[in-house]
Amino acid sequence: MKQIKISEIATSRLVKNEDLNHHKTLYAGRGVEWLVEAGFITAAKLVDPKLLRCVHFSEMNFSAPIFIGDILDFKSKVIKLGRSSITTYVKMLVNDKICGEGFLTFVKVVNEKSEPHNLELILETEEDILLNEKCKKL
């Protein structure tokens, strides 16, 4: 079993005209797409991306509008590990203000069957412990 410590992965997106809805704010579907991508990139740092499948997302919350020209930062980290699953927590920020967040679960799949990833998560900070506990209740 390989032990891993939580590290945050950062990615960014520029909000363009084609990303907007009829209110001229970020279309929620595009926001979810980018959240899933950020979570996937984080999980793929631990397991071969060709073997990962997204199986669940929850607690997707958008708390502030996002406008054209905004640079949307995504900060993602692994927050829970199962036998073959990797759950990430992703937050979306504009100018360091959280405007969205969610949890995504990916499973390592080989020959269409889940396979153990042999990873063990070390929780070090109070925030990570709280996120892990919240994730277990979802």
The whole-number pLDDT of residue 138 equals 84
pLDDT tens column, 59-84 = 889 999 999 999 999 999 999 999 99
Contact call for residues 20 and 66 (beta carbons, < 8 A): no
Torsion of the alpha carbons at 102, 107, 117 and 100, rounded to the nearest 10: -10
- Residue 94's closest CA among 29, 25, 6? 25
Residue 114 is which amino acid? S
- Residue 48's closest CA among 122, 123, 120, 119? 119
| Dist CA 52 CA 32 (whole Å) | 18
The whole-number pLDDT of residue 59 equals 85
Which residue ranges of the chain lie beneath pLDDT 50?
A: none
- Residue 27's closest CA among 59, 79, 62? 62
Q: Give the count of beta carbons closer than 10 Å to the beta carbon of residue 96.
A: 6
pTM: 0.94
**CATH number, domain at 21?**
3.10.129.10
- Segments forming the whole domain that contains residue 127: 2-136
User: How many domains does the structure of the chain reveal?
Assistant: 1
The whole-number pLDDT of residue 126 equals 96
List Cβ neighbours of 21 (8 Å cut-off, separation of 6 or more). 27, 28
